[in-house]
Amino acid sequence: MNGNMRITADRQPWSLHVELRAGVQGSDGKFQICQPVTYGEIADGQQADPFLKLSPADAQQLLDELWRCGIRPSQEQGSVGQSAAMQKHLDDMRTIAFHTLKVKP
């Protein structure tokens, strides 16, 4: 389907689940929504087709929506902003240490 996908994520205060909704506006101007996912079986060794393909922009929108709902990466690495702030702090500490010890960097 051609068109821009729109993805939303919601997290209700009474539920631990994240609810995803998606749709796409077709070339005819009509907005079509994604239907609930269904499950099926495949033969051993058979590769499953993806249930959804996202453009990089649509994947970014999904990531932004999940972030808005409070979902964060589980990796120990911080976000880009956190890493940049930590690097700035380390640079400041090096400057202080070099100045205090009268060492040229």
- Determine contact, residues 36/22, Cβ cutoff 8 Å: no
- Determine contact, residues 54/3, Cβ cutoff 8 Å: no
Distance CA 47, CA 44 (A): 9
Is the entire prediction scored with pTM above 0.85? no
Q: Which residues pair with 19 in a beta bridge?
A: 10
pLDDT in tens, 9-20: 999 889 889 999
pLDDT in tens, 42-63: 999 999 999 999 999 999 999 9
Q: DSSP states of 19-32 as a string?
A: EEEEEEE-TTS-EE
DSSP single-letter state for residue 3: S
